Structure 1
Amino acid sequence: MNKMLLASLKVFIWSLHPSFFPEPQFAKEHELFASINSTRVRLNLIGWNNGGCPITSFTLEYRPVDTAMWTMAQRTSLTKSYILYDLAEATWYELQMKVVNSAGFAEKKITFATLNADGSTIPPLLKTVDPITDNMSGNEGLKMMVTITCILVAAVMVFILLMVLKRRRREQRLKRLRGESEPKDTHMHTHPHTHNRNKANNNTQALFRDLCSRE
């Protein structure tokens, strides 16, 4: 009864805040491989942490490197250890595990090698290029190049636009200054004519007064 109540309480809390109970994870301080020989591997699964929620599914798959078919071993409960039998000697293998609880799931992938018949180790695995990964890397490089090119083109266009606006403002300022200076120039040009006209009038008046005095 208490276990059912506790489980119901966990489900209720998780429904309110799923991150309260984290997904399962494998502790880094635990070694996954307990023992390895030429045909058998013993896995140490005690490093898996359920994150506060019971583990509902455990899936394990393995295959020789550079092969397509996986050998699956699925268990509904996670035990402390698991043994892989009938492995080929002196062979590199790929291993992947998936552990599921009510909060989510976690995956762990790793490679290992069985020993030679005399118990000696085999040469390291040569790194192979995955065509899909390589293609994705190439696409990412192309996307990065296109992005940089677009940024540079946009920067050049903004610079040109700023220069055009600056030039237009300068032209408008010159026009405004010319418009303000034109009335002053007109006044300066008409001023000598006005002075000459006044001088002629004065001379005419003086001549008229001289004639009148003679009469």
Structure 2
Amino acid sequence: MTARALAAAPFLVSRRDALVMAGAAAATFAMPRIARAAAPFQQPPLPYEESALAPTISARTVGLHYGKHHKGYYDKLNTLVVGKPYADMTLEEVVVAARKANDAPVFNNAAQAWNHDLYWMEFKGGPAAPKGAFADAVKRDFGDLAGLKKAMTDTGDGVFGTGWVWLVKNGDKLEVVGLKDAINPLPDGKTVLAGVDVWEHAYYLDWENRRTAHVKAVLDDRMNWAYVSERFG
């Protein structure tokens, strides 16, 4: 082999190796990728900016409440349902099934995930008046909207410790119930129309210990009663 050929040989070998390596890489990328299984339950996006509920509910409270507490319930629920039939259910079905099975860890996290989904949605669009059949039901069962708000505020005052104030439709009748901790009326077969969170993390940064004032302000200044009307309908 000539000196010139010897000098060219390393380059030729390197190029050949490079071509082989490139072909192997191309084959690797051409192979089908195995999709990563997504968590079965996904927290919905907040339907507005964190500052949208201020001053009734501050951006700081929303950030912590949505970004830490609500997210935490979803994160924990997804670890609890791995390999269980719950993973193939809707969130509502998990709430009902876990309650029936006395599966407290799954129920508590599924219920709180669902409770907060409704909580954030019922404020979307800002305050609005009841309409249609719901407005008629409010007048029939509470006299007027002020009567409904008073029933919900008084009920919130009576919930000891943590819990929720729920407005539900039981048949065609409206009812207000206060329930402890994560419990909601879904397992009782009632239609949940609205809920006010009376856990301290929902109001303490803004209202300190004035829970009743917080509930009243939420009902007066944040609740979209038109959205509640749609749920009733």
Task: Name the TM-score, length of structure 2 as normaliser.
Answer: 0.22
- Give the helix-richer structure, 1 or 2: 2
Q: Determine which structure has more spread, i.e. the larger CA radius of gyration.
A: 1
Structure with more contact order per residue of length (Cα contacts < 8 Å, sep ≥ 6)? 2
- Give the strand-richer structure, 1 or 2: 1
